[in-house]
Amino acid sequence: MKSISTFGFPGPAASRVNPKHLVLDLLLAAGDQVLTSREAVAAAALFGITENSLRVTLARLCATQLIEATERGAYRLGSAGTGLAGEVASWRTAEQRVRPWQGDFIMVHSAALTRSDRSALRQRERALEMLGFRELQHGLHARPNNLERDLDTVRQRLHALGLDPQAAVFLGSGFDKGLHAALTQLWDGATLSASYQTRQHELQGWLAGAPTLDTARAARESFLLGGAAIRQIVYDPLLPEPLVDTARRHAFIETVHQFDAAGRVIWARFFGTLAGQPGRSTRTPNTVAAAVC
């Protein structure tokens, strides 16, 4: 977790913003609106990214169809970026995907799959991580069966995120006490529960001090702090009781929603000042693209 001060991030944090991820985050947040070059350049300047670097990034993203130009100097997500948009937006409904746990587990067996294709391996590992799976034995991953309405839905999400179709996805139950204990210890529930409270307090502390910040600093810091919180939700394993404190998780997610709303106001003000029309935009970027693209 990044170290922050009471009212914002230290300088070094800003230098770690990648121009590719910044552009994608801006467009993910833009919805039906386009992102202009002027807006992108101004946002990049908040993080020490040069105009030249930003424009090279725009050209490269267009070449890979992650974004596309709608007209000269205006961009929107391209065909390769729409799936990313859907996965990022899913943080808003994360808790709706959780259901009561009956003590069984979803298992994924991939030991027979090749590991020589590094790209396929990265996608496989990312899919499993994003849905909260942990490795029990070599090539055998598991998570509590409390996610989505049924196994087929979980299987489809795994495949959409990059899990090989040849991987076996099935339910496991009836484990002996030793193996069941090993399964439940794959996650550090105490640390995860504490992280909900810690991050919630960080967000609340920043919101309390936000009115004292100038617009540029507020935009920069809300991007960094809000993005870290949203990324935490995207990668949260959504464990059931008693593995984690679900009340703390709910309180944390509710605070992230409040922070997101505040961020929209701040970034509307920031982009509005570029056109002399304060409040014109409703977008609020976050840094989840760095994690999922």
- Which pLDDT tens digit goes with each residue over 119-153? 889 999 999 999 999 999 999 999 999 999 999 99
Mean pLDDT value of segment 97-125: 92
Lowest mean pLDDT among 38-52, 71-85, 138-152: 71-85
pLDDT at 280 over 50: no
Q: Is 102 inside any structural domain?
A: yes
Whether residue 193 is found in the same domain as residue 288: yes
Q: Is 91 inside any structural domain?
A: no
| Structure-token pair, residue 47 | 């993080």
Percent composition of the chain: helix, strand, coil (DSSP 3-state, to 5): 55, 10, 30
Query: Confidence band (pLDDT; 50, 70, 90) for 117?
Result: confident
* Residue finishing a domain among 153, 184, 215: 184
Whether residue 234 is found in the same domain as residue 280: yes
In this predicted model, what pLDDT tens digit does every residue of 150-176 receive, in sequence order?
999 999 999 988 999 999 999 999 999
CB neighbours of 21 closer than 8 A, spacing ≥ 6?
287, 289, 290, 293
Q: How far is C-alpha 110 from the geometric centre of its chain's CA atoms?
A: 25
Q: Is 6 inside any structural domain?
A: no
Whether residue 49 is found in the same domain as residue 121: no
Structure-token match 């070059």, residue found:
37
Q: Is 18 inside any structural domain?
A: yes
Nearest to 222 by CA among 38, 8, 55, 3: 8
Whether residue 113 is found in the same domain as residue 157: yes
Nearest to 27 by CA among 67, 87, 79: 67
Query: Confidence band (pLDDT; 50, 70, 90) for 29?
Result: confident
* Residue finishing a domain among 29, 47, 82: 82
Query: Confidence band (pLDDT; 50, 70, 90) for 4?
Result: very low
- What single-letter DSSP state applies at residue 121? H
| Backbone φ, ψ for residue 158 (5° rounding) | -60, -45
Q: How far apart are CA 229 and CA 151, in angstroms?
A: 28
Q: Is 89 inside any structural domain?
A: no
pLDDT at 282 over 50: no
Nearest to 288 by CA among 101, 88, 97: 88
- In the sheet that 67-71 helps form, which strands lie side by side, from edge to edge? 35-36, 74-77, 67-71
| Backbone φ, ψ for residue 168 (5° rounding) | -85, 125
Q: Cα dihedral sign for 43, 44, 48, 52?
A: negative
| Structure-token pair, residue 24 | 């994608």
In this predicted model, what pLDDT tens digit does every residue of 214-252 receive, in sequence order?
999 999 999 999 999 999 999 999 999 999 999 999 999
| Structure-token pair, residue 52 | 């030249």
pLDDT of residue 166: 94
Q: What is the H or E stretch that residue 27 is in? A: helix 19-30
Instruction: Give the domain extent around 102.
Output: 97-184
Whether residue 200 is found in the same domain as residue 150: no
Determine the 3-state secondary structure of 176 from DSSP. coil
Whether residue 193 is found in the same domain as residue 275: yes
**Do the Cβ atoms of 285 and 25 come closer than 8 Å?**
yes
Determine the 3-state secondary structure of 77 from DSSP. strand
Whether residue 169 is found in the same domain as residue 125: yes
pLDDT of residue 276: 59
Q: Which domain CATH number covers 177?
A: 3.30.70
Own/partner long-range contacts of 59-67 (Cβ < 8 Å, ≥24 apart): 60/20, 61/20, 61/23, 61/24, 66/24, 66/293, 67/23, 67/24, 67/27
Lowest mean pLDDT among 13-22, 109-118, 123-132: 13-22
Whether residue 164 is found in the same domain as residue 125: yes
Whether residue 136 is found in the same domain as residue 172: yes
* Residue finishing a domain among 82, 111, 144: 82
Mean pLDDT value of segment 105-118: 91
Number of domains in the chain: 3
pLDDT of residue 283: 55
Q: Is 137 inside any structural domain?
A: yes
